Amino acid sequence: MQKIIFFAKEAGLTEADYKPHYYGPYSREVAANLLSLVAAGWIQEISEAWPNGSVFGERHRYTYRLTPTGQDALKKLVEGNDSAAEALRKIVRLCQQKTGLDFQMLSWAAKIHFLSNKRRELHSASDVAQEARKWGWEVREEDVPKVAGLLEELQSVKPSC
């Protein structure tokens, strides 16, 4: 969820503040709002445990789904804002098509995009991997092409005014 909202922010759909974090760009504001939406019953939080840890060493992964109440609320929220709603749908659709919503690939994509915004002179996969290490991130050269298509297509997502 953090990465999808990060890409929505980059498209101008929200103003969430993101900072570098081990798993990629992270927003405390987004995390707090997610907890509020879970508490309100609009979003269901699903925790998945990994006894041996994931590739990032974490032992839990959280996924989120809109509840029926959340779906109704979302319909009301997007009424009259078709452009932003369509842009968000496109972001989710692209992430689904290009990564299958794989958390590891979305993390790589968000990290690479974040780094590219900070340092425009990153011209190669090697440059990206080297810069990622400076932030304490593990992005291998071979990870860059895996998400390049997603990042290229996300550049075109903007709400029409």
User: What are the tens digits of pLDDT across the range 48-72?
Assistant: 886 665 555 666 778 889 999 999 9
User: What are the tens digits of pLDDT across the range 78-87?
Assistant: 887 788 888 9
% of residues, the chain, pLDDT over 90? 32
What pLDDT does 37 receive? 95
What residues does each domain of the chain span? 2-154
User: What is the full per-residue pLDDT of the chain (161 aa) written as tens digits?
Assistant: 899 999 999 999 988 999 988 788 999 999 999 999 999 999 999 988 866 655 556 667 788 899 999 999 988 888 877 888 889 999 999 999 988 888 888 888 888 888 877 766 666 778 777 888 887 777 778 877 778 888 888 887 877 65
User: Mapped to the 3 state alphabet, what secondary structure does the chain carry?
Assistant: CHHHHHHHHHCCCCCCCCECCCCCCECHHHHHHHHHHHHCCCEEEEEEECCCCCCCCCCEEEEEEECHHHHHHHHHHHCCCHHHHHHHHHHHHHHHHHHCCCHHHHHHHHHHHHHHHHCCCCCCHHHHHHHHHHCCCCCCCCHHHHHHHHHHHHCCCCCCC
